Amino acid sequence: MQIFKPHVINKEESVISITGLYKSFDDLDVLKGIDFNLYKAENVAVLGKSGSGKSVLIKIIVGLLKPDRGEVVVLGKHVNQLNRKELDDLRLHIGFSFQNSALYDSMNVLQNLTFPLTMNRKNLTKSEANDAAEEILDSVGLKDKLNQMPSDLSGGQRKRIGIARTLILKPQIMLYDEPTSGLDPVTSTEIIELINEVQQKYNTSSIIITHDLTCAKNTSNRIAMLLDGRFLKIGKFDEVFDTDDEQVKGFFNYNFIQ
Amino acid sequence: MMNKKVRKYVFSKVLDEYFSGNHKAYRFIALFFKELFKRPFHLREVINQCFEVGLKSLALISLTGFIVGIVFTKQSRPSLEEFGATSWLPSLIGIAIIKALGPLVTALICAGKVGSSIGAELGSMRVTEQIDAMEVSAINPFKYLVVTRVVATTITIPVLALYCSFVALYGSYLNVHAEETSSLISFYQSAFKTINFLDIAISVVKTIVYGFTIGIVGCYKGFNATQGTRGVGKAANQAVVLAMFLIFIEEVIIVQIANWIRYF
């Protein structure tokens, strides 16, 4: 297994900076004042209960949802103030791995990978796009699945292809939404390994949304505990779970029993 | 003390949702026209969608058109015979099929087949986050999915309607030919004798409007689908029902406008 090697993080260089973020859906307040920084080459795992707003947070970062209040600055750009063109330019630097992979059903694996590339780099020839796709597929260990349809792949393979699809645009930031959910322990370990490989190979900064403490511990420099719409604790794994807080302890115990 | 938020509506919940739904639909149509003239045009995808719409409906439209031609001729003949006017049969069939039945039958078939397919496809893409995946890959999903499909239905359905009319006339010819000696050319000549350029132009305009309606309704319902797999079925169903309803309303309005034009 690719071991997670904690490295020194330069806290001067913030790639994502969030201040006073609020978001609600109808009467339900989901995020109630989030302040957070992600530094260059850092992996942060965001832990929290289902429905605590973890996925909402990363959807706001990538501009899929608009916040009610607050400021989100990604790579020096205020996400809420960007027009469509500027937001698309920013999104080219952000990779988003969806919980259910979100592969395009009507396309095979190769087309899934080349689609974002050919749509964004018009001067690229078909063979260049295919070569890039094959290279990325090789790096996620699925080169032999090139011509298969997403429906023919297992859950773990779909996750890998989903990650490969985001990597093809060579992003600086990776946002993983529940990368190990619904996977068996062996496949989860493979995905954890892949997240670490991606960080080391592409020097990405990542936010990993997860329930899985094994994933959080083995992929992240810091853990952020999201409870009741706020970050209750942010710090190293041991610092976060060395607490008397019942909710945090409950989360740890649940995962431990699991 | 209860700290419960009180929800306020301008009129009532139902009326507010009705008006905001209408507003959302108009914004969707406005966005279509805004994106239509912007680059990139995704011509390959438009051609691909034209192929999907056209080829997949061809068999059903051929069969339905052919049967409509035969049945309409069979039903009309006894009435005309009573007045000794069977020689007017091709003209009557021509007027009925080219001006009304061809476009309407094609539109209704396509509303069922193409509209539901677009609604279900986009609805499924929405609930499985494939549309969001496009968005985060810096691809404009509205432009790629909606504009291409609406353009494809707007182009293809008039062609299908024209084809349906010709097949229906052929079905009608076969029925006429079984009863009396008549050549195909003389039948078509008689059928088109009472049809002028304005009639054909109005038919074409009508089918363009139907095509646009089927495409935009299917895309609107699918693109805004919610509630998981249940929402996909709902989107497909609503796409068909709403498109058919609008087609009948448009038929009445266009016929009325066409009559006004004729008087001028």
Residue A196, pLDDT > 50, answer yes
Measured between beta carbons, the chain A residues lying within 8 angstroms of B140 are 84, 88
pLDDT at A96: 95
The answer, yes or no, to whether residue A244 has pLDDT greater than 80, is: no
Contact B139 A100 (CB under 8 A): no
Same domain for B143 and B258, yes or no, is yes
In this structure, the answer to whether residues B71 and B9 fall within a common structural domain is no
Q: Are residues B160 and B63 in the same domain?
A: yes
What is the pLDDT of chain A when averaged over all its residues? 88
In a domain, B169, yes or no: yes
pLDDT at position B163 is: 96
In a domain, B9, yes or no: yes
Residues B31 and B54 reside in one and the same domain: no
CA-based radius of gyration for chain B: 22
Q: In A, which residues are within 8 Å of B124 by CB distance?
A: 105
What's the whole-model pTM score?
0.89
- At residue B3, what is the residue type? N
Q: Are strands A222-227 and A230-235 parallel, antiparallel or unpaired?
A: antiparallel
Q: For residue B145, tell me if it sits in a domain.
A: yes
Instruction: Give me the mean pLDDT over the B162-179 stretch.
Output: 93
Q: Which of B133, B136, B139 sits opposite A119 (nearest CB)?
A: B139
Specify whether B27 is located in the same domain as B95.
Answer: no
Residue B44 lies in a domain: no
Pair (B116, B16) in one structural domain: no
Chain A residue numbers with beta carbons less than 8 Å from the beta carbon of B137 are 91, 115-116, 119-120, 165-166, 169
Both B24 and B133 in a single domain? no
* Greatest mean pLDDT among A131-140, A178-187, B18-27, B148-157: B148-157
At A228 the three-state DSSP class reads coil
| A158-172, A230-244, B205-219, B223-237: range with lowest mean pLDDT | A230-244
Instruction: Dump pLDDT digits (tens) for A23-76.
Output: 998 888 999 999 999 999 899 999 988 888 899 999 999 999 999 999 999 999
- Lowest-pLDDT range, A177-191, A209-223, A234-248? A234-248
- Count of domains observed in chain B: 2
| pLDDT tier, A2 (very low <50, low <70, confident <90, very high otherwise) | low
Residue B45 lies in a domain: no
Confidence of residue A208 (pLDDT cuts 50, 70, 90): very high
**Domain of residue B15, residue span:** 1-36
Non-local CB neighbours of A219 within 8 Å, separated by 6+ positions: A4, A43, A45, A192, A195, A196, A199, A206, A208
Tell me the pLDDT of chain B averaged across its residues. Answer: 91
Q: Are A99 and A55 in contact (CB under 8 A)?
A: yes
Position A3 pLDDT exceeds 70: no
> Does the pLDDT at position A258 exceed 50?
no
What mean pLDDT do residues A70-95 have?
A: 93
Which residues in chain A touch residue B129, judged by CB atoms under 8 angstroms apart? 98-100, 102
Chain B residues with beta carbon closer than 8 angstroms to that of A64: 132, 135-136
Q: Are residues B58 and B29 in the same domain?
A: no
What is the pLDDT at residue A35? Answer: 92
Whether residue B41 lies inside any domain: the answer is: no
Q: Are residues B134 and B231 in the same domain?
A: yes
State both tokens at B234: 């709902």
Which pLDDT tens digit goes with each residue over A101-142? Answer: 899 999 999 999 999 999 998 888 899 999 999 998 988 888
Domain assignment of residue B132, yes or no = yes
Query: Looking at the structure, do residues B109 and B170 belong to the same domain, yes or no?
Result: yes
Query: Could you tell me if residue B32 is inside a domain?
Result: yes
pLDDT reading at B240 higher than 60:
yes
> Based on the domain organization, do B75 and B12 belong to the same domain?
no
- Give the pLDDT score at B2: 47
Closest Cα in chain A, distance from residue B30 (Å): 17
Q: Check CB contact under 8 Å for B130 and A105.
A: yes
User: What DSSP letter does each residue of chain B carry, written as one string?
Assistant: ---PPPP--SS-HHHHHHHHHHHHHHHHHHHHHHHHTSSP--HHHHHHHHHHHHHHHHHHHHHHHHHHHHHHHHHHHHHHHHTT-GGGHHHHHHIIIIIIIHHHHHHHHHIIIIIHHHHHHHHHHHHTTHHHHHHHTT--HIIIIIIHHHHHHHHHHHHHHHHHHHHHHHHHHHHHHHHS---HHHHHHHHHHT--HHHHHHHHHHHHHHHHHHHHHHHHHHHT--SHHHHHHHHHHHHHHHHHHHHHHHHHHHHHHHHHHHH-
Which chain B residues touch A if contact means CB-CB below 8 Å?
5, 7, 40, 124-125, 128-130, 132-133, 135-140, 144
The pLDDT, as a whole number, for residue B1 is 43
Residue B150 pLDDT > 90, yes or no? yes
The alpha carbon of residue A234 and the mean position of all alpha carbons in its chain are separated, in whole angstroms, by 17
Interface test with A, best of B4, B136, B142, B226 (most A CBs within 10 A): B136
Instruction: Give yes or no: residues B13 and B95 share one domain.
Output: no
